[in-house]
Amino acid sequence: MRIRDYKIPVNIVTGFLGAGKTTLLNKILEEKSNENIVVIINEFGELSVDHQLIVTTKEEIIEINSGCICCNVRKDLIDTLNTIIRKQKGHARPIDRVIIETTGMANPAPVIQTFLMDIEMSRSFKIDSVCAVLDAKHLFQHIEEDELQQQIAFADVLLFNKTDLVSEHTVKELERKVGEINPHAKRFCTVNSQLDFTQIIGLHSFELSNLLTIQPDLLNNIAYHSHNQKVNSIVFHDDRALDLQKLNNWLAYLVQIKGESLYRYKGILFIKGIEERVVFQGVHMLFASTKDRLWKQEEKKCNEIVFIGKDLDFSELEEGFNYCLV
Ligand SMILES: Nc1nc2c(ncn2[C@@H]2O[C@H](COP(=O)(O)OP(=O)(O)OP(=O)(O)O)[C@@H](O)[C@H]2O)c(=O)[nH]1
């Protein structure tokens, strides 16, 4: 088979902040460990924590962090995909699949358009599926946000995730509401983004005709758009250790008092007296932290944290972070 005859399947994973995209990606990579997969991730904010949270060590992970993948990074995406094509030509083992995880604040349209409207890209790649992961616990809270509506509209697979946190009645209500935006997509209810992946991958379920009934202008113009200006992010990158007690106090305050406006917070923590890295993850008032692997000898211990939310008060967050330093 000549390389030209083979189009690399692309799976686009989209969904709002904290919905369970990285959890899904990890599950797919585990399940498809025999495949040669290239992962492209893009994060909201200038810091990528996701590469730290992806458990695999085998797959090639490419980060695009110079902005949101749906706007100024489109060129970077094409450059990245061109590099993949070049590598593909020189290697005996073909790339089986590309998986793109967009930021939680991305409109997936420009990513989809890249594969439909750019001639070189459409000759080399084929969209297999566009999967939107939906946070059943917080979906109603964000349903009016443009980005979430676009993510729902452009998907051919919808995962109603975190169904462990809501009642069956709520799931039915969510399905009804989401069905008004996108009646065509296949729907699955999941916990921790777990499902039989043969139902969403490799089926070439992406149907342009369905999409055009929802978004008739998709192929007419490049989807430039503005982001919700009220959603902002702040990153802390600091190599000084944190005091556990103070950190607990601060996070308890943040979650209780600011949880509503804190859409997403996550990171790797360097805490005095703890030998392992600590991963912390939060979505609104739901917060968890776990010990990860030991810090490596050659690794510089440091904190890498991102807060994303509505009208965040940066100086208050900075003050809080500084208070937690040993
Ligand atoms: N209770 C519960 N928690 C979940 C479920 N799925 C994911 N989580 C947790 O939700 C948090 C966010 O999950 P991620 O997979 O990082 O979400 P994401 O969509 O990649 O988030 P962004 O990085 O903001 O784009 C993590 O703490 C997960 O462990 C679920 O089904 N139920």
Distance CA 134, CA 123 (A): 31
Spell out which residues line ligand 1, taking CB within 6 angstroms.
15, 17-23, 50, 104, 133, 161-162, 164-165, 191-193, 264, 281, 283, 288
**Binning pLDDT at 50, 70 and 90, where does residue 126 land?**
very high
Average pLDDT over residues 175-193: 93
The predicted structure's pLDDT at residue 67? 57
Ligand 1: distance of its center to the CA of 23 in Å? Answer: 6
Instruction: Specify the residue with its C-alpha closest to ligand 1, atom 12.
Output: 18
Distance CA 306, CA 171 (A): 30
Written as six digits, the tokens of 77 are: 């995406």
Q: Is the pLDDT of residue 251 over 50?
A: yes
Sign of CA dihedral 216, 218, 222, 228: positive
289 strand-pairing partners: 280
Report if residue 224 sits inside a domain.
no
Q: Is the pLDDT of residue 61 over 50?
A: yes
Report if residue 222 sits inside a domain.
no
Instruction: Answer yes or no: do 190 and 240 share one domain.
Output: no
For 310, the domain range is 231-324
Q: Which of residues 56 and 23 earns the better pLDDT score?
A: 23
Q: What is the mean pLDDT of the chain?
A: 85
Last residue of a domain, one of 214, 244, 262: 214
Instruction: Specify the residue with its C-alpha closest to ligand 1, atom 23.
Output: 18
The predicted structure's pLDDT at residue 93? 75
Instruction: Answer yes or no: do 192 and 63 share one domain.
Output: yes
The predicted structure's pLDDT at residue 271? 96
**Ligand 1 atom having least distance to the Cα of 164:** 32
Ligand 1: distance of its center to the CA of 89 in Å? Answer: 36
Nearest residue to 98 via CA among 64, 71, 149? 64
Q: Which of residues 11 and 59 earns the better pLDDT score?
A: 11
Last residue of a domain, one of 162, 184, 214: 214
> What's the 3-state SS for the chain?
CCHHHCCEEEEEEEECCCCCHHHHHHHHHHHCCCCCEEEEEECCCCCCCHHHHCCCCCCEEEEECCCCCCCCCHHHHHHHHHHHHHHHHHCCCCCCEEEEECCCCCCCHHHHHHHHHCHHHHHHEEEEEEEEEEECCCHHHHCCCHHHHHHHHCCCEEEEECHHHCCHHHHHHHHHHHHHHCCCCEEEECCCCCCCHHHCCCCCCCCHHHHHHHCCCCCCCCCCCCCCCCEEEEEEEECCCECHHHHHHHHHHHHHHHCCCEEEEEEEECECCCCEEEEEEEECCEEEEEEEEECCCCCCCCEEEEEEEECCCHHHHHHHHHHHEC
Vertex 32 angle, CA 26 and 35, to 5°: 120
C-alpha pair distances (Å), 27 with each of 161, 195, 213: 13, 9, 32
Instruction: Specify the residue with its C-alpha closest to ligand 1, atom 13.
Output: 20
Q: Is the pLDDT of residue 3 over 50?
A: no
Report if residue 226 sits inside a domain.
no
Ligand 1: distance of its center to the CA of 253 in Å? Answer: 21
Written as six digits, the tokens of 269 are: 């923590």
Q: What is the CATH number of the domain that holds 267?
A: 3.30.1220.10
Last residue of a domain, one of 214, 246, 270: 214
Instruction: Answer yes or no: do 238 and 188 share one domain.
Output: no
Ligand 1: distance of its center to the CA of 2 in Å? Answer: 40
Best residue among 13, 17, 22, 44 to mutate for probing ligand 1's pocket (most ligand atoms within 8 Å of CB) is: 22
Residue that is written with structure tokens 């919700």 in the block? 228
Report if residue 133 sits inside a domain.
yes
Written as six digits, the tokens of 40 are: 């492209």
Instruction: Answer yes or no: do 56 and 147 share one domain.
Output: yes
Instruction: Answer yes or no: do 147 and 256 share one domain.
Output: no
**Ligand 1 atom having least distance to the Cα of 281:** 27
310 strand-pairing partners: 231
Ligand 1: distance of its center to the CA of 90 in Å? Answer: 37
Q: Is the pLDDT of residue 116 over 90?
A: no
Instruction: Answer yes or no: do 202 and 263 share one domain.
Output: no
Instruction: Answer yes or no: do 167 and 287 share one domain.
Output: no
Ligand 1: distance of its center to the CA of 17 in Å? Answer: 9
Ligand 1: distance of its center to the CA of 160 in Å? Answer: 12
Ligand 1: distance of its center to the CA of 5 in Å? Answer: 38
Instruction: Answer yes or no: do 290 and 247 share one domain.
Output: yes
Instruction: Answer yes or no: do 37 and 119 share one domain.
Output: yes
Ligand 1: distance of its center to the CA of 161 in Å? Answer: 9
Residues 6+ apart with CB under 8 A from 146: 107, 225, 228
Q: Which of residues 227 and 245 earns the better pLDDT score?
A: 245
Instruction: Answer yes or no: do 63 and 173 share one domain.
Output: yes
Instruction: Specify the residue with its C-alpha closest to ligand 1, atom 28.
Output: 20
Instruction: Answer yes or no: do 24 and 109 share one domain.
Output: yes
Instruction: Answer yes or no: do 268 and 209 share one domain.
Output: no
Give me the interface pTM, i.e. the ipTM.
0.98
Report if residue 136 sits inside a domain.
yes
Q: What is the CATH number of the domain that holds 195?
A: 3.40.50.300
Written as six digits, the tokens of 74 are: 């489109």
Confidence (pTM): 0.85
Best residue among 16, 23, 284 to mutate for probing ligand 1's pocket (most ligand atoms within 8 Å of CB) is: 23
Written as six digits, the tokens of 256 are: 């209780």
**Ligand 1 atom having least distance to the Cα of 25:** 15
Report if residue 96 sits inside a domain.
yes
**Ligand 1 atom having least distance to the Cα of 15:** 19
Q: How many domains does the chain have?
A: 2
Ligand 1: distance of its center to the CA of 72 in Å? Answer: 26
Residues 6+ apart with CB under 8 A from 174: 134, 136, 139, 140, 160, 166
Nearest residue to 163 via CA among 199, 195, 200, 130? 195
Q: Percent of the chain, pLDDT > 70?
A: 84
**Ligand 1 atom having least distance to the Cα of 264:** 24
Q: Is the pLDDT of residue 69 over 60?
A: no
CB atoms < 10 A from the CB of 21, how many? 25
Nearest residue to 101 via CA among 11, 206, 211? 11
Q: Is the pLDDT of residue 222 over 60?
A: no
